[in-house]
Amino acid sequence: MAERRATSTYDELLDLLQRSGAGFELIDHEPMGTTEVVSAMRGHPAAHAAKALMLVVKLDRKARKYVLAVVPGDRRVDLDAVRRFYAARYAGVCETETAERLAGTASGTILPFALDPQVELIADPSVLAQPRLYFNAARLDRSVRMATDDYARIARPVVHPIATGGPA
């Protein structure tokens, strides 16, 4: 995976949160990229985790855009809802190589922030309903806990229902 910038995505995240005055804590844990397992390790319900998935949205035969979809950890991204939102002909999961290049980190550690200007961020409203959010900090062995209000203020996602499946 090639990095987009000279600094690591982890360092870029910490810099962004500190510069933005976010209240956050770092949580060290065993390396894990599965939301349900790492949520249990961090001691919170999976619904409080921000699960991020890089998508490709094909608007027509030639035009496409990249979308970072964020849903609660106990839900899945409703690709049809994303497709309808963008009035697109197709919405699907990005190839791993493209997702990692755009996110600046490996699959399983993708942040719920769109750090690449080519990527549009969309979050399900239920993500913003929790008082605190948890997510991997661009590393499998460290996570961030932060106030949801700070996340919304810093990330400025488009908010639209894109989650499917009820809470586990």
Pairwise CA distance, residues 68 & 33, whole Å: 17
Q: What is the pLDDT of residue 150?
A: 98
Please tell me the predicted confidence (pLDDT) of residue 5: 44
Structural domains of the chain, ranges and CATH numbers in brackets: 9-15+25-164 (3.90.960.10)
Query: Residue for token digits 């690709």?
Result: 79
Q: What are the pLDDT digits (tens) for 75-94?
A: 999 999 999 999 999 999 99
Residue 67 near residue 122, CB atoms below 8 Å: yes
Segment 97-111 shows an average pLDDT of 94
Residue partners of 84: CB distance under 8 A and separation at least 6? none
Bridge partners of 146? 24, 133
Spatial distance between the Cα atoms of 134 and 156, rounded to a whole number of angstroms: 17
pLDDT at 131 over 90: yes
Query: Which pTM does this prediction carry?
Result: 0.92
